Amino acid sequence: MAKTKSFLVRDCIVVTDSDIQRPTEIVQSENHLDTQPLSKLRDKPFWIWDQIKHKQSNRANKGHCCFNHIIGLPRKDGVRKPMFDYERMLYKALLEPGYLNGNASLHSDDLNNIAHKFKLKHLWVKKATGLGVTEFNQELAIKLIKRMKALFANLEVTFDSKETVLELNGCTIEAYPSNHIDAFRSLTNPKFILIDEGDFFRKNEQEDVRHVAERYIAKSDPFIVMVSTPNAPNGLFEKIEKEPFDTCIYKKIYLDYSFGVDKISTKEEIDKARMSPSFEREYCLKYQGLIGNVFSQLSIDKATSFPYNPDNINPNAKKSIGIDPGFGSSNFAIVVTQLVDGKI
């Protein structure tokens, strides 16, 4: 098998090579790996979506029925979790060209009529908090690779690559933080790019990372997957969401909190989350980005309850001007205040 290079950019993953395997195929031994443990994965499917067939295969193979059961199912609070229907949706969207082709609706009646016109392999996924598929620093890039390496702990497979790199099955997966896009510009033959939480990139990074990712389409035709909880209006995700169906290169999938109820989340957990002022953004896919962490919502509500006339300017009152340059995802802002009767 040809040497495959896959690069993982934090908030963006890239895989490179002309001979990458499909997810349903099994990993073979490669550099620095013990070949015997990985042989358990050979010829096993990623997951068996038919529940009856899956149970039969699980019994017949003594638990070694598929990739996920062999490496160990994901857990939440110590409880093993299977692959859910919304994860199958993502799986099919990646591997089946005629599935959800570029349409922003999951239930469009026109899908079957237009599917043959497109063979898209790029996904745009706006998701609720907690619906993992999956900041901007090197530490988080390291953690992401560490989690991927930990998937093979049950097989007692160890890796001697550096902390931002995973080499497996002739494929190199490398993580880059979003504030080091320059290192992402000169990849050799990328095959898979994941942009994770891209709507929370700094403004100057959002368009840059998209341009760098999409420039590889003509070069190596990679999969491009953007996944994020929505942030502020007019950001990367809202711009793509508003692109017309007939010109957008991404299949669009919306995963609000309802997809995960009684699966990854309980109704009680969702009820608790409703008490947060950020619930609409974090769970209902609404662009807000207007709630910060400097002032509590209680203090904001109290301040707005006082009578206030912006045209009433006291020339003798003390005044101050505050300037926020907006280096992050916020807009540039200037705030002018005055102290009157002990209140600002």
Q: Give alpha helix (H) positions in the chain.
A: 35-39, 51-60, 67-71, 85-95, 111-114, 138-150, 203-214, 217-220, 236-241, 267-273, 279-284, 297-304
Q: Which residue has the higher pLDDT, 47 or 288?
A: 47
Distance of CA 61 to the CA centre of its chain: 33
Where exactly are the structural domains of the chain?
4-284, 307-339
Whether the CA torsion 43, 46, 47, 49 is positive or negative: it is negative
Structure tokens at 224: 């491009």
**CATH assignment of 4-284, among 1.20.58, 2.40.50, 3.40.50, 1.20.5:** 3.40.50
CA dihedral 1, 33, 8, 76 (to 10 degrees): 120
Given a cut of 50, whether residue 7 has pLDDT beyond it is: no
The confidence score (pLDDT) of residue 62 equals 92
Whether the CA torsion 227, 233, 236, 242 is positive or negative: it is positive
The radius of gyration of the chain from alpha carbons, rounded to an integer in Å, stands at 24
Please, which residues have CB within 8 angstroms of residue 87's CB and are 6 or more apart in sequence?
133
- Is-above-0.75 flag for pTM? no
Q: 102-121, pLDDT tens digit by residue?
A: 444 444 444 444 443 445 78
Q: 189-237, pLDDT tens digit by residue?
A: 888 988 888 898 888 888 888 999 999 998 888 999 999 999 888 899 9
